[in-house]
A and B are shown apart, each in its own frame.
Chain A
Amino acid sequence: MKILVIEDNKELSDLIVQFLKSEHYIVETAYNYSSAYDKVFVYNYDCILLDIMLPDGNGLDLLKEAINKGIDMNVIILSAKDSVEDKVTGLQLGADDYLPKPFHLSELHARIKSLLRRANHQTGNQIRISNIVVDTDKLSIYVDNNLLDLSRKEYDILLFLINRQNHLVEKQTLAEAVWGDFIDQSDKFDFIYAQIKNLRKKLKDSGAQIEIKTIYGFGYKLITL
């Protein structure tokens, strides 16, 4: 899988590259509009991470150019602006996703995976992990083809963890993703614990080959057995 990172901040670009390489992607970089332009229309990439504000141009122009040339790209916009207009324009111009800064690398990874899944159309909107299949259209999870009976929150938690397998997911991050970003650090996370406990029981009872591990008191990590 080949990914192009178009980001003018070299430090951030390097970090994204480092992270994606550790996830076994092939990564190339462009730090400005002109070099991005050269690469995009010469090579093929499975996914392009595009920063809108570049020193010598607007990332959105790259999308327009691609439409003009009839080239289909898988683009995730990375923007410091977090503005609805940018998001709408970007998505209208054919970008596939929009990730406002500051973002988590794990979140970025989850979005890339989701995009690649959709782009490949191999498995529809399904995620497979050991003996588990997640159908994101039907919001259902199957273990050995048996539907797992989950509440909405349990489904959200499990999907979030599956998308970040083998990575530590902090309680706070999980809570914000599933419940909403009104959650504060000082809040008690008992409500997560209760959900995780139920989830573990259901996974175990159904014979799922995955496990949600607790990492000290800080968070959870989903691993395959």
Chain B
Amino acid sequence: MKLFKVVTLRISLLAIIILTFWSIFFYHTIINEVNDEVDDALEDYAETIVRRTVSNIPLPSSSIGSNNQFFIKEVSEEYAHSKEHIKYEDREVYIDEKNEFEPARVLTYIFNNDEGNYFELEVSTPHIDKTDLKEAIFFWIVFLFIVLFISILLMNLWTIHRSTKPLKKLLEWLNNYRVGENTPPLNNNTKIYEFQTLNNVVQESLNRTEEAYKQQKLFIGNASHEMQTPLTVCNSRLEILLNDPNLTESQLEQIIKTRQTIERLSKMNRSLLLLTKLDNKQFTDSSKISLNKVIERILPDYQMVYSSKEISVTTSYKGSFIVDMNPSLSENLISNMLKNAYVHNINGGEINIISDNDFITFENTGDAKPLDKELIFKYFYHDNTSNQSIGLGLPVVKSICKNYNLDISYKYHNGKHSFTIKNSKS
């Protein structure tokens, strides 16, 4: 839910509650005020009549076109004592002149004259129709609410839009931010303290991440680098040992196996160094290279090496995918793709290479289940079946692609694993 919606809804809800209480309060205040005035008038009226009654002055005709009415009757002393002497009430009163009932304010007044006779006087005057008033108040409150709601909406649209501009900018910047890539500096000046703090906190945290990332890259680079000499030492010792003519077959086997393991380690090391160099963008020289030609050059060696697997390879070049790339990296790229297609293949399987002007696809048969699209490009990921891969081939491919604005995607289609390299859209 957007901030704008949340704020508008909350303010509106508050407005409803406040308006409801306010309208109740307003209604009661108005009614009290009106009653007060009406009661005063009724009292005056009643007093006039009482005075006239007591002084035996003739009473006025019941109403003088003002819809005011009075009734007076003599009551017993007990009745008089059992009732309040002054009582105000709201009641429907029949108005003779109009022939209809109307809401009225009624004052009942009990008094006695000098002779000790008790009288009950009832004076009434038409009064505000409370239902009408309630309806009117309700209507105007609803109207007010609608007006308020629209105002809130417009105010929020403006204020939230205006005041969250720095936030939007920060979010957009964060969204484009990639660790280890040159991101333009966040230029987000704002007067709002919270956003200033947010900007600072985000930048500080990213700086720390960036620093950690650099350290990690440096570490991998340095570690692989520092391993080169000890690896050479190990290998050289074994090589010297290997030339001893007195070695038995089993000793020879042990030495050679150890050497192969060291060889594996050096390969891994070389790949890590390559990845570090790719990350640091240390490959500067590039030239236009047709990947088809690279394939044509390398493929025969692969066919010879993996001849025992009896894999049939078909190439269909509809066009030539030209990339602007460091030549040794282009070989590395194609070599890794071909190796991937051969190593994870089945005996008697097939490899199809399809290329056009804007893409190149490597398809191969293999395990009849799709691979995890995310994991296959991660460092040191291997499926359980093949223990011969170091698990750095595809990460290297991905890194090379990234360096040259290429995209590599994987899909499992018609029982074949298919990798496509094409130009990035952006």
Within 8 A of A (CB), among B300-329: 301-302, 304-308, 328
Give the contacting residue for A172; candidates B237, B263, B306, B387; CB below 8 A. Answer: B263
Bound CA span A18–B1, Å:
75
> Are A18 and B243 interface neighbours, CB within 8 A?
no
Q: Is A162 an interface residue (CB 8 A)?
A: no
Bound CA span A187–B311, Å:
14
Looking at B146-154, B173-181, B251-259, B360-368, the stretch in contact with chain A turns out to be: B251-259
Give the contacting residue for A179; candidates B242, B253, B266, B305; CB below 8 A. Answer: B305
Q: Is A64 an interface residue (CB 8 A)?
A: no
> Are A187 and B306 interface neighbours, CB within 8 A?
yes
Q: Is A38 an interface residue (CB 8 A)?
A: no
Give the contacting residue for A183; candidates B237, B283, B305; CB below 8 A. Answer: B305
Q: Which residues of B contact A218 (CB under 8 A)?
A: 252-253, 256
On whether A19 and B225 interact (CB within 8 A), knowing A186-B388, A190-B307, the answer reads no
Q: Is B62 an interface residue (CB 8 A)?
A: no
> Are B266 and A80 interface neighbours, CB within 8 A?
no
On whether A84 and B283 interact (CB within 8 A), knowing A12-B229, A101-B229, A190-B308, the answer reads yes
Q: Give the distance to chain A from B217, nearest Cβ to Cβ, in Å.
A: 15
Q: Is A106 an interface residue (CB 8 A)?
A: yes
> Are B232 and A12 interface neighbours, CB within 8 A?
yes
Within 8 A of A (CB), among B222-238: 225-226, 228-229, 231-233, 235-237
On whether A191 and B305 interact (CB within 8 A), knowing A101-B228, A102-B232, the answer reads yes
Bound CA span A11–B233, Å:
7
Bound CA span A194–B328, Å:
29
Bound CA span A217–B408, Å:
41
Q: Is A177 an interface residue (CB 8 A)?
A: no
Q: Is B270 an interface residue (CB 8 A)?
A: yes
Q: Which residues of B contact A82 (CB under 8 A)?
A: 228, 270, 273
> Are A180 and B243 interface neighbours, CB within 8 A?
no
Which residue of B is nearest A166, CB measured?
B243
> Are B263 and A15 interface neighbours, CB within 8 A?
no
> Are A105 and B236 interface neighbours, CB within 8 A?
yes
1/0 per residue A102-116: CB within 8 Å of B? 111110000000000
Q: Is A43 an interface residue (CB 8 A)?
A: no
Give the contacting residue for A81; candidates B225, B236, B252, B305; CB below 8 A. Answer: B225
Give the contacting residue for B339; candidates A9, A172, A182; CB below 8 A. Answer: A182
Which residue of B is nearest A176, CB measured?
B263
Which residue of B is nearest A16, CB measured?
B236
Give the contacting residue for B235; candidates A102, A168, A215; CB below 8 A. Answer: A102
Which residue of B is nearest A103, CB measured?
B232
Q: Is A92 an interface residue (CB 8 A)?
A: no
Q: Is B133 an interface residue (CB 8 A)?
A: no
Q: Is A202 an interface residue (CB 8 A)?
A: no
> Are B243 and A15 interface neighbours, CB within 8 A?
no
On whether A18 and B240 interact (CB within 8 A), knowing A101-B229, A182-B335, the answer reads yes
Q: Is A170 an interface residue (CB 8 A)?
A: yes
Q: Is A146 an interface residue (CB 8 A)?
A: no
- B residues contacting the other copy or chain, number (CB 8 A): 49
- A residues contacting the other copy or chain, number (CB 8 A): 43
Bound CA span A76–B264, Å:
25
Q: Which residues of B contact A183 (CB under 8 A)?
A: 305
Q: Give the distance to chain A from B70, nearest Cβ to Cβ, in Å.
A: 116
> Are A104 and B235 interface neighbours, CB within 8 A?
yes
On whether A15 and B236 interact (CB within 8 A), knowing A172-B263, A185-B264, A191-B307, the answer reads yes
Q: Which residues of A contact B336 (CB under 8 A)?
A: 182
> Are A179 and B233 interface neighbours, CB within 8 A?
no
Which residue of B is nearest A189, CB measured?
B305
Within 8 A of B (CB), among A176-225: 179-188, 190-191, 215-216, 218-219
Q: Give the distance to chain B from A163, nearest Cβ to Cβ, in Å.
A: 15
Bound CA span A61–B201, Å:
46
Q: Which residues of B contact A81 (CB under 8 A)?
A: 225
Q: Is B267 an interface residue (CB 8 A)?
A: yes
Q: Which residues of A contact B262 (CB under 8 A)?
A: 102
Which residue of A is nearest B388, CB measured?
A186
Q: Is B187 an interface residue (CB 8 A)?
A: no
Bound CA span A81–B225, Å:
7
Bound CA span A215–B235, Å:
19
Q: Is B282 an interface residue (CB 8 A)?
A: yes
Q: Give the distance to chain A from B205, nearest Cβ to Cβ, in Å.
A: 33
Bound CA span A175–B336, Å:
17
Which residue of A is nearest B303, CB measured?
A191
Q: Is B343 an interface residue (CB 8 A)?
A: yes
Which residue of A is nearest B309, CB measured?
A188
1/0 per residue A143-166: CB within 8 Å of B? 000000000010000000000000
Question: Which A-B residue pairs are the 6 nearest by beta carbons?
Answer: A80-B228, A102-B232, A102-B231, A101-B228, A186-B388, A15-B236
B residues near A, CB below 8 A? 225-226, 228-229, 231-233, 235-237, 239-240, 242-243, 249, 252-253, 256, 259-260, 262-264, 266-267, 269-270, 273, 277, 282-283, 285, 298, 301-302, 304-308, 328, 335-336, 338-339, 343, 387-389
A residues near B, CB below 8 A? 9, 11-12, 15-16, 18-19, 22, 80-85, 100-106, 153, 167-168, 170, 172, 175, 179-188, 190-191, 215-216, 218-219
| 5 sample A-B contacts, Cβ–Cβ < 8 Å, listed by A number | A102-B228, A104-B239, A170-B259, A182-B338, A185-B388
A12-B232, A16-B236 given. 16 additional CB < 8 A pairs?
Answer: A12-B229, A12-B236, A15-B233, A82-B273, A84-B283, A84-B328, A101-B229, A101-B232, A102-B228, A105-B236, A105-B239, A167-B243, A170-B260, A184-B388, A191-B304, A216-B253
